[in-house]
Structure 1
Amino acid sequence: MRRLGGRVLDFLTIEPLRIRSILRLILIALIALLVHYTKVEHRNDAVFTAVLIAYAVGAVAWLIFLIKNPARWWFGWASTFTDVAIVLVLCIASGPATISLYPIFFLLPISVAFLDSPVITGLLGLSASFGYLLAWAAYATQDQEMGGTIPALVYVQVGCLLWFTAAITALSFTLARRRARVLGLLDVRRRLIAESMRADERNNRELSEHLHDGPLQNLLAARLDLDELRDNPSPEGFDRLDAALRETVTALRTTVATLHPQVLSQLGLTAAVRDLTQRFQQRWGTPVQADLEDVGRPDAQALIHRAARELLSNAHKHSRATSLEVKLHRRPGGTVLQVSDDGVGFDPAILARRVSEGHIGLASLVVAVEAVGGSMDFSPHPGGGTLVKVTVPDQLGSDHFT
């Protein structure tokens, strides 16, 4: 799991850097073409050309380096610092011909947009916009032909830069939130898998103890009774043997029904959910109102049955509900299960914390439902309590599992 999480983290880090490097190369080529076709005269043509060529060669080498090497935390900041330094050098070498470098100012906010830092992206974009305006103000005061007046086109260009800064900052904000969500999901998934493995171990141990202390002991007692009956046949002995065997059969049936409800495979989902609600009422004494439509045998019936069992169990353990309602209906393309109670309510935001505390039942159910293309929605129930709506599509792809 660590290896998978590390690969995802590397992808989230290195892939944006590669995209930036490709965009940088395209922008350098466009600047070279722009300067060539506009035939502007720079303050120092030799220095400008040398810096631009070195910039292009360095950009190609940097892209190759990123392709062949894993990500490091300083890669993004190093490339950003280099971009800013190159832009400054090109502006100084260009002098009043900076207008031909206008597209390169778009590079500055882009250079940090992929670093998931909206604040720095916005600050650098604003610096590029007003830096371009200040450069023109300085050139206007030095150029006698301009008479100290900045051309109106420059203000339009600055407006474009400001608009671009706002757009790229919003993009950076979106990327930062998405990255945080992905990393959060990876962390929850890691903890969920770890807790699931521990839960499997606990369940196996409990099942082993249950079989050992129940059916196995009954069978051993029945064998002793059988040995005794061979020597001293008596009605009491046969009664004890019959009782032990009946108790063993009942215990094994209960265990098998827990592992895989027989009614689900024989009679379908609706009958299995009805049986589940009836057994819940008998065991805990909490009334359950069932509104169950015949939904047939959807592909995900085992998952829906598991959802009903888990939600009823949670309602008993945590909600302190005095009554529940279970609905099962068909919808175009899917099956909908609704479980509502009149308990204390539930905040789905605590799922991640409950996973860290070792409670994985509901969290793993949410993951399983979403894995098959379904959804689980939690909402307050009118009058108090919680309403949980589970929607699962009828047809599942081969890559889905329950």
Structure 2
Amino acid sequence: MPAADVSLLRGLLLQFALRILLAVFIGTGLLLQPPSANRWLHWGILAAYIASLTVWAWWAQRSADHSDQRTQRAVSLLMLCADLTVVAVISVETGLSSPETWTSDVLQHGLFLIPLIAAAQLDPAVSTMVAIPTVFTFFVVNWIDREANGNEPWGSILLRTAIVFGLAAGSVALSWIQQAKTRTIVGLAQERTRLLEEVISLEKRERQSLSERLHDGALQYVLVARHDMEDVRDGSVEGMDRVDFALAESSRLLRDVVRELHPEVLARAGLKAAIASLADSIGARTGMRVQLDADGWPDDLRTDADYLLYSAAREFSTNAIKHAQADNLRFRLAHNGSRAELRIADDGVGIPPDRLAQSVEDGHIGFASICTKVLATGGEFAVTGSPGTVISIAVPARTAGRQSVA
């Protein structure tokens, strides 16, 4: 069940419980402290309230979660008006018609429940609209009962009214806090769903990309070698050379794919050694000046974020080689106990936001894939710099263990 629906259901259950308590309180008050006049009128008002409570409960069970916000607010206000009316009318009427009894003095305390019922709406506007008449009604009832209570001092009346006012104000604040929490939970749930859908979509596209690489690369050389095997059977030396070349290229391409899927150095020696190996390889292949600052990462440290960070380093360094026209590339790796940080900077032409968005639309999913995976872990991803590009990644990283490095 969605978080918003759960909050709505709990709020409705709380309202129903408080209204049952209010009805029981009024009925008990009328039984234990009966007024001297108009008893049937008071019981009739209570019966009408119980009937309206039954109708509201039926509506809440069948239609509350399917109604729009305007309808829900209108029904909530209507029912809160019924809550306030039943207490106010009985308290005021008994105070006027039966001042010698304690009925009004007892029943007026039912007004303390009204702000609590309003707070359960999780709607600050509704709580505010109910708080003001509740405080006013409490003051009026005490004013009516003042003479019957031996001219109760105004200070006492104002003090008790202030308590009701504080309760009403607290109900408004509580509604606002709970509404904000509900919105935050709903937003987080929606963001989680979106990230999950993006991860699934990106994984599908990555698998398709891997399939295309194998088909267009290694598999083509294998097919060529199979075709040339006919010449090899006829004793052709050239055919044998072509088969040897095709198999060598196929092996190289397959090793590249396997290395990208699960780099051996990462599994054997850890992230620091893997990125150092990556930096050395880039420098040897391209002639770029590549630096690694990993003083903040212990040699033997392993974390559950190692593969993600290595994939990011490989992806963004490849982008710098292909597109950035950079002369210098710098990696910075650090671990502060609970978070791992990777920073990749080059002095190339930079990445304008519109070009980054266009590259994702064109099917170049490396950036989007890494970014989505980082955000899905609760991490942070940022691309800055112009000219040049600085990519900063910070992710939660639980220590997976430390292994001795031979």
- Kindly state the Cα deviation for residue 306 of structure 1 after the two structures are TM-superposed: 4.5
Measure, in 1, the Cα distance between the counterparts of 2:250 and 2:331: 34
Q: Any residues of structure 2 matched to 1:204-223 within 5 Å, and which?
A: 204-223=207-226
Provide the aligned length of Structure 1 versus Structure 2: 371
Per-residue CA deviations over 1:210-255 (Å, capped at 9, x if unaligned) read 1111111111112223321221432x44333222222111111111
State the secondary structure of the residue aligned to 2:299: coil
Match of 2:24 among 21, 29, 53: 29
CA RMSD after TM alignment: 4.4
- What is the match of residue 42 of structure 2? 48
Q: Any residues of structure 2 matched to 1:139-158 within 5 Å, and which?
A: 139=144, 151-158=154-161
- What is the match of residue 85 of structure 1? 82
- Kindly state the Cα deviation for residue 171 of structure 1 after the two structures are TM-superposed: 1.8
Measure, in 1, the Cα distance between the counterparts of 2:264 and 2:236: 37
Question: Against the structure 1 CA distance between its residues 319 and 107, is the aligned structure 2 distance closer, same or farther, given a 3 Å change threshold?
Answer: farther
Q: Any residues of structure 2 matched to 1:145-184 within 5 Å, and which?
A: 151-184=154-187
8 Å contact from structure 2 (residues 374, 395) kept in 1: no
8 Å contact from structure 1 (residues 109, 122) kept in 2: no
Per-residue CA deviations over 1:271-304 (Å, capped at 9, x if unaligned) read 3343344456656947443313224434554445
Measure, in 2, the Cα distance between the counterparts of 1:178 and 1:317: 46
Question: Against the structure 1 CA distance between its residues 240 and 310, is the aligned structure 2 distance closer, same or farther, given a 3 Å change threshold?
Answer: closer
Q: Any residues of structure 2 matched to 1:3-402 within 5 Å, and which?
A: 7-33=2-28, 39=33, 41=35, 44-52=38-46, 55-56=49-50, 59=53, 71-73=65-67, 74=71, 77-95=74-92, 96=95, 98-137=104-143, 139=144, 151-234=154-237, 236-279=238-281, 285=288, 287-291=290-294, 292-299=297-304, 301-306=306-311, 323-329=329-335, 331=337, 334=338, 336-339=340-343, 341=345, 359=368, 361-367=370-376, 369-370=377-378, 375-376=379-380, 387-394=392-399
- What is the match of residue 404 of structure 2? none
Question: Against the structure 1 CA distance between its residues 177 and 217, is the aligned structure 2 distance closer, same or farther, given a 3 Å change threshold?
Answer: same
8 Å contact from structure 1 (residues 311, 339) kept in 2: no
Equivalent position amino acid for 1:171 in 2:
L
Instruction: Pick 1 or 2: higher relative contact order, CA cutoff 8 A, min separation 6.
Output: 2
Measure, in 2, the Cα distance between the counterparts of 1:197 and 1:114: 38
- Kindly state the Cα deviation for residue 309 of structure 1 after the two structures are TM-superposed: 5.1
State the secondary structure of the residue aligned to 1:116: coil
8 Å contact from structure 1 (residues 84, 108) kept in 2: no
- Kindly state the Cα deviation for residue 180 of structure 1 after the two structures are TM-superposed: 2.1
Measure, in 2, the Cα distance between the counterparts of 1:388 and 1:86: 55
User: TM-score with structure 1 length normalisation?
Assistant: 0.73
Unaligned runs of 5+ in 2: 96-102, 402-406
Question: Against the structure 1 CA distance between its residues 220 and 387, is the aligned structure 2 distance closer, same or farther, given a 3 Å change threshold?
Answer: closer
User: TM-score with structure 2 length normalisation?
Assistant: 0.72
Question: Against the structure 1 CA distance between its residues 345 and 111, is the aligned structure 2 distance closer, same or farther, given a 3 Å change threshold?
Answer: farther
State the secondary structure of the residue aligned to 2:66: coil
- What is the match of residue 400 of structure 1? none
- Kindly state the Cα deviation for residue 18 of structure 1 after the two structures are TM-superposed: 1.3
Measure, in 2, the Cα distance between the counterparts of 1:146 and 1:70: 47
Equivalent position amino acid for 1:72 in 2:
H
Measure, in 1, the Cα distance between the counterparts of 2:37 and 2:318: 78
- Kindly state the Cα deviation for residue 56 of structure 1 after the two structures are TM-superposed: 4.9
